[in-house]
Amino acid sequence: MKRISLIGSTGSIGKSTLSVVEHLSDRFSIFALTANSAVGLLADQVAVFRPEVVGVTDARHVDAFRRACRDRSVAVPEVVTGPDGLRQITSAPEVDIVVSAAVGAAGLWPTYTAVAAGKIVALANKEAMVVAGELLCKTSEVTGAQIVPIDSEHSAVDQCLRAGARGEVLRLILTASGGPFRETPVERLVRVTPEEALKHPTWKMGKRITIDSATLMNKGLEVIEARWLFDIPAQKVDIMVHPQSIVHSMVEFVDGSIVAQLGTADMRQPIQYALTYPERLPSPVAPLDWGAVSRLEFHLPDRQKFPCIALAYQAIELGDTAPCVVNAADEIAVEEFLNGNIPFTDIPNVIDAALDAHDLQSGSSLDSILEADRWAREFAKRWVGHRHAAQC
Ligand SMILES: NC(=O)c1ccc[n+]([C@@H]2O[C@H](COP(=O)([O-])OP(=O)(O)OC[C@H]3O[C@@H](n4cnc5c(N)ncnc54)[C@H](OP(=O)(O)O)[C@@H]3O)[C@@H](O)[C@H]2O)c1
């Protein structure tokens, strides 16, 4: 029986992870669950999975969580709060696997602590690898932590890599659905609304990653994530738009052979693979319905229309704290777009301006990463403020 700390249990990945744990309840049990503020759902999950510890990151919601447990006649488990609470949950000696599924740079601390404690880390929080890839990889070499990707593209690459030796790999090809604006004329993008941008054609996900999929920044972040996870230069990581989201990614080998991983678009598949890695077990995911697959299309992304792709490659080329700045500026820009403060087309403009203004610092120091993250958030907020002032 392996014991899991699930960071971000109330999110899209968190809920899918609990579905897998329920399916494999003879192998996995839950040691800890965490949420930021969704305490009603957290109490529902406590009633079913009976964790020993619960993390409520935003301490203002602890009383409401206790009330929600009492309302459900559920015993209140030990409650921890804030980043310190997450650190405690991810490094506890009772824990075998940490599923890192909080959203945004907030996932850095729990991921880093789990890697530093030598755990198996099932990584959904790509932002941690984007902002601190160098640090996490160096730390895992020292502690023996195993980082297994949950992102469907990286899980697919990991599975494809089993077909050959590392020296035989020519390039990785990450597939992208193309998002809701794949066929939208570029001149209309300035007027698209948050509601339109939140309508992802194939995946149901949290808000940030859904908007990142619409700008294709998600794919850019995934290129950076792949660079660190698979220790491969970003120039050898390509993007291919594949609207059907059936081929989850591919690996091209030096002999010209391309190995692809296909399946139903259901995150429970890569989550289960990460939890049972390197074993495969029957899963709750519906088999691919070949009758409904009429064609598989592939084409190169339009880099003019989606400038976030080039910004991500630029960041990894610059190295050090540049990817951290891209992630933080994007996080703020997405929030401001969702709040109606900037148009969709300003998301890459905010990131570009932040990258341009940033003085690079070491990417292997946690302090400089946290400082770059703070600086980029402030910069992005100021940029949006100036934009507003100029328009009024
Ligand atoms: N969804 C997908 O299919 C998918 C696929 C690949 C990778 N990912 C990655 O997985 C991660 C989670 O994505 P998601 O779609 O599951 O996001 P989501 O649905 O928005 O869920 C985010 C989770 O993080 C918690 N959270 C929010 N703010 C936090 C904070 N400051 N500190 C700690 N926890 C916080 C949320 O708690 P509350 O519910 O209380 O707000 C929730 O449990 C992201 O890094 C994303 O890029 C997602």
Select from 80, 126, 209, 285 the residue to mutate for testing ligand 1; criterion: most ligand atoms less than 8 Å from CB.
Answer: 209
Q: Convert the pLDDT of each residue in 296-310 to its tens digit.
A: 999 999 999 999 999
CA distances from 331 to 15, 96, 184, 287, 373 (A): 22, 31, 23, 35, 10
> Does residue 319 fall inside a structural domain?
yes
Shared domain for 184 and 303, answered yes or no, is yes
pLDDT at 162: 97
- From the CA of 212, give the closest atom in ligand 1: 47
The pLDDT of residue 225 is 98
Predicted local distance difference test score (pLDDT) of residue 217: 98
Average the pLDDT over 65-73 and give the result: 97
Return the SS3 of 175: strand
Instruction: Answer yes or no: do 363 and 325 share one domain.
Output: yes
Query: Which atom number of ligand 1 is nearest to the Cα of residue 102?
Result: 24
Nearest-angstrom CA–CA distance, 198 and 187:
19
48 and 118 part of one domain: yes
Domain assignment present for residue 167? The answer is yes
Q: Quick one: 26 and 165 in the same domain?
A: no
Q: Do residues 130 and 30 share a domain? A: yes
Structure confidence by residue, pLDDT tens digits, 33-62: 999 999 999 999 999 999 999 999 999 999
Q: What is the mean pLDDT of residues 276-282?
A: 96
| Whether the predicted pLDDT of 313 surpasses 90 | yes
Q: 370 lies in a domain? A: yes
Statement to judge: residues 172 and 201 lie in one domain: yes
The pLDDT of residue 392 is above 80: no
Interatomic CA distance for residues 226 and 51, integer angstroms = 32
pLDDT at 134: 95
Domain boundary among 149, 166, 185: 149
Q: If you search the block for the tokens 């698979």, which residue do you land on? A: 230
How far does the centroid of ligand 1 lie from the alpha carbon of residue 157, in Å?
A: 22
Residue 390, pLDDT score: 83
| pLDDT band with cut points at 50, 70 and 90 for residue 315 | very high
Query: In the predicted model, is pLDDT for residue 148 greater than 90?
Result: yes
Pairing of strands 78-81, 169-176: unpaired
Q: Tell me, what's the pLDDT at 203?
A: 79
**315 lies in the same domain as 384:** yes
In ligand 1, the atom with minimum distance to the C-alpha of 207 is: 20
**What DSSP string runs through 345-369?**
THHHHHHHHHHHHPPP--TT-HHHH
CATH number, domain with residue 87: 3.40.50.720
Give residue-wise pLDDT tens across range 357-375: 999 999 989 999 999 999 9
Q: Among 19, 323, 277, which Cα is nearest to 123's?
A: 277
In a domain, 230, yes or no: yes
User: Which atom of ligand 1 is found nearest the CA of 39?
Assistant: 40
Task: Please report the pLDDT score of residue 202 as a whole number.
Answer: 81
Look at residue 330 and tell me if it is in a domain: yes
Task: Using the predicted structure, report yes or no on whether residue 185 has a pLDDT greater than 80.
Answer: yes
For ligand 1, the distance from its centroid to the CA atom of residue 153, given in whole angstroms, is 17
Task: Quote the tokens at residue 97.
Answer: 């696997």
pLDDT of residue 287: 96
Q: What is the pTM of this model?
A: 0.96
Q: What is the percent of the chain with per-residue pLDDT over 90, rounded to a whole number?
A: 95
Say how many Å lie between the CA of residue 77 and the centre of ligand 1: 22
Residues with CB under 6 A from ligand 1: 8-14, 35-38, 57, 101-103, 106-107, 124-127, 151, 203, 205-206, 209, 267
- Tell me, yes or no, whether 145 and 191 share the same domain: no
Where does a domain end: 149, 164, 189? 149
Q: Whole-angstrom Cα distance, residue 200 to residue 325?
A: 26
3-state SS, residue 157: helix
pLDDT of 114 strictly over 80:
yes
Distance 108 CA to ligand 1 centre (A): 12
Q: What is the mean pLDDT of residues 122-137?
A: 97
Same domain, yes or no: 195 and 126: no
How far CA 83 is from CA of 104, 108, 206, 375, in Å, comes to 14, 10, 21, 19
What residue's CA is closest to ligand 1, atom 27?
Answer: 36
Give the Å distance between the CA of 203 and the centre of ligand 1: 14
User: Which stretches within 7-125 are classed as H helix?
Assistant: 12-23, 39-49, 62-71, 82-91, 108-116
Domain of 238, in residue numbers: 154-266+294-391
Structure tokens at 188: 């209309």
Cα 252 to ligand 1 centre (Å): 31
Question: What is the count of structural domains for the chain?
Answer: 2
What's the number of CA atoms in the CB half-sphere (13 Å) around residue 186?
A: 6
Q: What is the mean pLDDT of residues 192-212?
A: 92
Span from the CA of 391 to the centroid of ligand 1 (angstroms): 33
Between the CA of residue 49 and those of 43, 53, 172, what are the distances in Å?
10, 11, 38
Q: Does residue 276 belong to any structural domain of this protein? A: no
Closest to 239 (Cα-Cα) out of 282, 178, 179, 191: 178
Tell me: do 99 and 172 sit in the same domain.
Answer: no
Are 121 and 252 found together in one domain? no
91 with 161, same domain? no
Of 93, 116, 149, which residue sits at a domain end? 149
Going by pLDDT thresholds of 50, 70 and 90, the confidence category of residue 259 is very high
Let me know if residue 66 belongs to a domain.
yes
Mean pLDDT value across the chain: 96
Is 118 contained in some domain? yes
- Residue 223, domain CATH: 1.10.1740.10
